[in-house]
């Protein structure tokens, strides 16, 4: 069992860490799991653990943006060239809108009953007060019919990588503006 010196160490290890979670929630999560380190051999969870609270600037252009997270995710988790399998077509929303299914990923358009799976790359379009003209993209940790927990960067603007729960109140976007997701084949 790991020994954590601070609550920040707990959050870095994957305990707590959702937007609006504080020390009490991180400690409760740690206790609820019996203090088992959440770092895992699962490559998706390993990615989340590695980059939580970090800033990713994959392309070394325009600073850390939401798209940098998915590029790093595809490279680290699937060992693929992210520009080959998910071509760059401008802003986050345009990547989804212009994406053509290939041997690596398939495009799934959001529907009223569609639910993304862990590891899906999820996209949102421009939406008043939630996204700018660029849209937004993240990696799904978990989802149900009403809410999504995704691994995001630069949401809100300037934020490091973290889990964001979407759909719990008027300030979280959930499926509002969700275009759909890309799923690894």
Using one digit for the tens of pLDDT, what is the confidence trace for 25-76? 555 555 555 454 454 568 999 999 999 999 999 989 888 999 999 999 999 9
Tell me the pLDDT tens digit for each residue of 7-29: 566 556 655 544 444 555 555 55
Reading the block at residue 77, the tokens are: 């988790």
pTM score: 0.76
Question: Domains of the chain, with CATH numbers?
Answer: 1-38 (no CATH), 55-184 (3.90.1720.10)
Cα(119)–Cα(122) distance, integer angstroms: 9
């Amino acid at each position: 069992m790991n020994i954590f010196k601070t609550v920040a160490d707990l959050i870095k290890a994957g305990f707590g860490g959702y937007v609006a979670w504080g020390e009490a929630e991180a400690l409760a999560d740690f206790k609820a799991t019996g203090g088992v380190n959440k770092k895992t051999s699962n490559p998706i969870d390993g990615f989340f653990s590695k980059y939580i609270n970090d800033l990713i600037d994959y392309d070394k252009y325009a600073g850390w943006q939401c798209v940098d997270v998915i590029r790093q995710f595809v490279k680290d988790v699937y060992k693929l060239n992210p520009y080959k399998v998910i071509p760059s077509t401008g802003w986050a929303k345009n990547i989804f809108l212009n994406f053509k299914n290939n041997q690596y990923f398939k495009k799934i358009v959001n529907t009223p009953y569609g639910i993304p799976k862990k590891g899906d790359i999820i996209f949102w379009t421009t939406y008043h007060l939630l996204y700018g003209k660029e849209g937004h993209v993240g990696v799904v940790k978990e989802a149900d019919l009403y809410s999504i927990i995704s691994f995001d960067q630069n949401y809100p603007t300037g934020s490091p990588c973290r889990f964001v729960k979407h759909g719990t109140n008027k300030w979280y976007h959930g499926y509002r503006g969700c275009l759909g997701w890309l799923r690894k084949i």
